[in-house]
Structure 1
Amino acid sequence: MITAIVLIDASTDSIGEVATALAGLDGVSEVYSVAGGGTDLVALVRVREFDDVAEVIAGRINKVPGVLDTQTHIAFRAYSQHDLESAFSLGLD
């Protein structure tokens, strides 16, 4: 599974509508509204193939009315609290 984090600048007057439209796209698993740094929305894209990343972002996200700009980051490895607990576990219960 390939995960891409997409930072999205959206029209200020339509952030809610843009977020709802993005959340309904195939390949977009989550959309968050955020504050700070000039980013309005963060979308998590999860797909099986690298070619699908381009299709979801260039072919779908960038075509949603109200999306002004995107910046994409590809995730290499996921770290979660569960992973950290097992990594630092001494094996004691």
Structure 2
Amino acid sequence: MITAIVLISADNSRIPETAKALADTPGVAEVYSCAGDVDLIAIVRVRDHEQIAEVVTSGIDKVEGVLRTTTHIAFRSYSSSDVEAGFSLGE
């Protein structure tokens, strides 16, 4: 499974509708509204890199209210339980 994090600048007057439409987009696992440099963050989970291109360019970029996107592809996932388990191996 490949995970991509898509940072989205959206039309401020349409953020709730845009977020809902993004969440309904195939390949989008989660959508977060947030403060900061971007308005929304979408987590995309797909089987291969070609699907990322399709979800972002044919799906996310076509949603009404999306102004700009920046996509980051995750290499590896870490969770607090993974980190704690790694440190407890030597004990």
Gaps of 5+ in 1: none
Poorly superposed stretches of 4+, deviation over 3 Å: none
Pairwise mapping of residues 4-83 of structure 1 onto structure 2 (< 5 A)? Answer: 4-37=4-37, 39-83=38-82
TM-score normalized with structure 2 length: 0.96
Q: Percent identity?
A: 59
Aligned length: 91
Greater helix percent: which structure?
A: 2
The whole-number CA distance in structure 1 between the counterparts of 2:71 and 2:36 is 17
Gaps of 5+ in 2: none
Equivalent residue for 1:88? 87
TM-score normalized with structure 1 length: 0.94
Q: CA RMSD in A?
A: 1.0
